[in-house]
Structure 1
Amino acid sequence: MSALRWGQHLITAVLLLVALLRAASTTASSLWLAIAAAGLFALWYLFGFVVLRSKGSTRLPGYWLAVLVAIWALGMSASPEFMWVAFSLWLLIGHQLALGLSVVWCAAVYVLTVVAPFLHHGATTVSGVVGPLVGGTFAWGISRGYLQLERDIAERNELVSSLLRAHQEMADLQEELARSQHEAGALAERTRVAREIHDTIAQQLSSIGLHAKAALHTQQTGQATNALERIEELSGQGLSDLRRIIAAMSPSELDSQALAGALRRMLEDFEKDCEVSSELRVDVDLPVLDPGIQVALLRTAQSALANVRRHAKATRTVVSLADTGDAIRLDIVDDGIGFSLKEWQSNVGKNLESGGFGLPAMRQRLRELGGGLDIESTLGEGTALSAYVPLKNPEAGN
């Protein structure tokens, strides 16, 4: 665009010089008036583009163009050779004025270019009429195209600016989304660690407390010794689990054995801790389970047995692990005192210090794998928990 503007200035200077030279060779009587008109035209033209034009804009005040046309008309009165400068005026008029007004002004300039030679010489020619018409139409068309080009460039620049702003907003949004995902991941990790601590260390500490209380209240040295030995064993397991959690390792129970074996060991420890008879029933044709499924079911069994030990007052517990075709189901049934499901549901989460985190944590862990937890219990008739996890996790798209 800068090259086009400088081209217009160059055309104006060349045409003004041509007009002045031709006037000097053909109009001796009015030469000084022609020189003065040419000088005034050049100075006013420079004043408009150097002083009046605001920075960053190509539009000039309307009075500047009117004065410029008046100076040109003065030059036409001195010599008809100033008609050469009309081409530059048509360029300026088409660019500076609105469509309708530019047509009127261009027509006025055209009339003056046709009439002036007749007034000076008393005659005109076909070329003197057609030439300015073609030149004026061409110049006006160029200027209107130049104006439209400026508008297109301005729209393009605005579009580019909008795209840059949108890109920056998108980058800010992605940064905020990444921050939110990081916070969500941190929250999920804290929840996972809380479940791990609840299902392992918290249960072991609870068992240690029970054995310590039993050792304090017994009068028999053998029983106290057994309780202390069990406390030592449980503390060792708790330390091992704590190290595993810190190191973010997979559950130690599943490092070298399958889920069924881990459940069997768990029931053996359970019988030692609370003297409740237990039975493990496992389908012989269980498929190989994903480690995540094994962890979830193992932790569910740990938490359920801890609840039996602490609250159920049961004499017998049956744990079943079965393949239902499209899911793995783990059932834990006891013959204890049971509880009111309605009352439990109304109090979930209200008193976590005294318990109540286990069942919601079990359910949440299983739901993350696409499974769930069903609970059946009646006061005086025991409790049955049924945990299930689909063999194909829908979230994984398998």
Structure 2
Amino acid sequence: MRLGQTAITTVLLVVAAIRAAADGVPLAWVLSIALVFTGWYVGGLVLGARTRDPVLATWWLGGLSLIWAGAVAISAEFVWLAFPLWLLAGFVLRLPWAIAFSVTILAVVISAPLLHSGTTSYANVVGPVVGGVFAFGIARGYLELVRDGRERRRLIASLVAAQEETAQLQDELARTQRESGAGMERTRLSRDIHDTVAQSLSSIGMIARGAESASAREMATALGQIVQLAHEGLVDVRRIANAMAPAELEGSAFGDALRRMLARLEEETGIRTDLHIDEALPAIPMGAEVALLRTVQSALANVRAHAAARRVVVTMTDAGDTVRLDIADDGIGFDATGWDAHAARRTDGTGYGLRAMRARLRELGGDLDIESTPGDGVALSASLPITANGAPR
């Protein structure tokens, strides 16, 4: 913009000087005016680029205007230089002062032909008005574009800073959640160990100390109690370990773990079992496998304890964006209408397994549906959402 403005000013100064010399103005005067105007103009541009002082720029524009006024007093041809003055007014001065300055320059331009020749024309009035409005509008529009660009850069910088802050907050939140989850897990493990294994070990120690001076019969009784407590402690340790990572999944595929569970059920109870796994089933992450495995374990425990079934069928299928696990038996069934609400009101603890299954699946975004009527068996349908790479949503 500055280069273009300088080029326009140079061209207009040359045209004005040539026309003034052609009108009979002494060449020395024309060259002197041109050199003074050029020197002041170029010096102001150089100094303004270094200091960027608005007060200095205002004084510079005032001095340039006085030089121009002197040139117009010598020759009306120098009114051509009013165009760069209008441009500079739009750049340098505040809007009210820029308007006042531009109107003053316009008045000088319109009056110059009258002062030199005593006559004027519509062209000498309309032309300067159009040129002044055009030049002033270009300058002010350019300033608005510059301001918009600066504001846009400021907003972009603010947005980038906000995104960085959001990323930091997300990292902090993730770290806090991990620490909270680890703390909750440590609390759960310490509580389980204290309430089970530690109590068993404490009781074993007490019984052993009490049997030091006991008779042979009492010693035998104490040994039996110690064996029983040790067995219960071992069961508790296995239960706690299984809650962290199911042993059935160690070193084997999920389908193999299901086959072993069903084979054990068939061997111990005589219930016939069938397993159907979709060959197109996507890879399932460990968290989803654990939830589905626990669902099968709990469902088979219910079949063993309550169903009086002769056959159990387990089916795993790929349902598009979800993996579906169906467990059906031909046992005595039950009334599944409102089972969740009824189970929550029971005081004997029954129904807890079904509610625990649903809660575990819902934590991963899945759900559990139950269909059953008395005498018609039970059908459980567990579903978990998965993405293309097999990760739960």
TM-score normalised per structure 1: 0.60
Q: Deviations over 1:161-215 (max 9, x none)?
A: 2212211221121111111111111112212222332343223213322432342
8 A contact 1:329–1:388 mirrored in 2? no
- For 1:58 and 1:153, the matched residues in 2 are separated by 20
Deviation, 1:241, is 5.8
Cα distance, 1:389 vs structure 2: 6.1
Q: Is the 8 A contact 2:25 2:75 kept in 1?
A: no
Deviation per CA, 1:204-243: give whole Å up to 9, x if none: 2133224323422422x24324534654675576568658
CA–CA distance in structure 1, aligned partners of residues 140 and 227 of structure 2: 96
Instruction: Tell me which of 179, 191, 194 is aligned to 1:195.
Output: 191
Say whether 1:15 aligns with 2:12: yes
Give 1:290's aligned residue.
Answer: 295
Please state if 1:43 is matched with 2:43: no
Contact 1:327 1:388 in 2 (8 A): no
Distance 1:372 1:27, change over 3 A: farther
**Matches of 2:55 and 2:172, distance apart in 1:** 44
Q: Equivalences for 1:192-231 in 2 at 5 Å?
A: 192-219=188-215, 221-225=216-220, 227-228=222-223, 231=226
Distance 1:155 1:56, change over 3 A: farther
Please provide the CA RMSD for this pair.
4.0
Quick one: which amino acid aligns to residue 7 of structure 1? G
For 1:24, give the aligned amino acid.
A
| Counterpart residue identity of residue 105, structure 1 | F
Please tell me the residue identity of whatever aligns with 2:153: N
Equivalent residues of 1:328, 1:390 under 8 A apart: no
| 1:24 alignment partner in structure 2 | 21
Distance 2:52 2:172 in 1: 37
User: Deviation at 1:91?
Assistant: 1.0
Counterparts in 2 of 1:123 and 1:146: CA distance versus 1, 3 Å: same
Kindly tell me: are residues 7 and 373 of structure 1, through their superposed partners in 2, closer, same or farther at Cα, counting changes over 3 Å? farther
Shift in Å, 1:116 = 2.0
Match of 1:157 among 153, 158, 166: 153
- Please give the alpha-carbon distance, in whole angstroms, between the structure 1 residues aligned to 2:205 and 2:296: 31
2:131 aligns with: 135
Task: Kindly state the Cα deviation for residue 123 of structure 1 after the two structures are TM-superposed.
Answer: 2.8
Q: Distance in 1 between matches of 2:105 and 2:131?
A: 12
Q: TM-score, normalised by structure 2?
A: 0.61
Aligned equivalent of 1:110? 106
Amino acid of the structure 1 residue aligned with 2:196: T
Q: For the Cα contact (< 8 Å) 2:113–2:120, is it kept in 1?
A: yes
**Distance in structure 1 (CA, Å) of the matches to 2:54 and 2:237:** 75
* Alpha-carbon distance between aligned partners in 2 of 1:329 and 1:156, rounded to the nearest angstrom: 61
User: In the TM superposition, what is the alpha-carbon distance from 1:87 to its structure 2 partner?
Assistant: 0.7
Mapped partners of 1:19, 1:329: distance in 2: 101
- Is the partner of 1:61 in helix, strand or coil? helix
Among candidates 30, 33, 43, match of residue 29 of structure 2: 33
1:250–1:114 Cα change, 3 Å: same
Mapped partners of 1:75, 1:162: distance in 2 = 50
Q: 1:25 to 1:47 in 2, by over 3 A?
A: same
Query: Residue 169 of structure 2 is aligned with which of 169, 173, 176?
Result: 173
Amino acid at match of 1:208: I
What is aligned with 1:342? none
Find the aligned partners of 2:341 and 2:115 in 1 and give their Cα distance. Answer: 109
Q: Deviations over 1:242-298 (max 9, x none)?
A: 58757833389xx9689xx9xxxxxxxxxxxxxxxxxxxxxxxxxx9737979xxxx
Residues 321-332 of structure 1: matches in 2 within 5 Å? 326-327=339-340
- Does the CA contact (< 8 Å) of 1:372 and 1:387 recur in 2? no
- How many residues are paired up? 289
- Please tell me the residue identity of whatever aligns with 1:154: R
- What amino acid does structure 2 have at the position aligned with 1:121? S
Distance change in 2, residues 1:169/1:124 (3 Å): same
Look up the match of 1:77. Answer: 73
Gaps of 5+ in 2: 249-259, 269-292, 300-333, 368-393
Identity %: 40
1:16·1:85 contact (CA, 8 Å) conserved in 2?
yes
Residues 214 and 151 (structure 1), Cα distance of their counterparts in 2 relative to 1, 3 Å cut: same
Counterpart CA distance in 2 for 1:389 and 1:67 is 93
Matching of residues 263-274 of structure 1 within 5 Å? none
Relative distance call for 1:246 and 1:390 in structure 2 (3 A) is: closer
Alpha-carbon distance in 2 for matches of 1:167, 1:115: 60
Which of 56, 67, 89 is equivalent to 2:63? 67
Q: Does the aligned pair in 2 maintain the 1:373–1:388 contact within 8 Å?
A: no
In structure 1, stretches of 5+ residues that fail to align are: 262-287, 295-322, 331-370, 375-383
Q: 1:324 to 1:173 in 2, by over 3 A?
A: farther
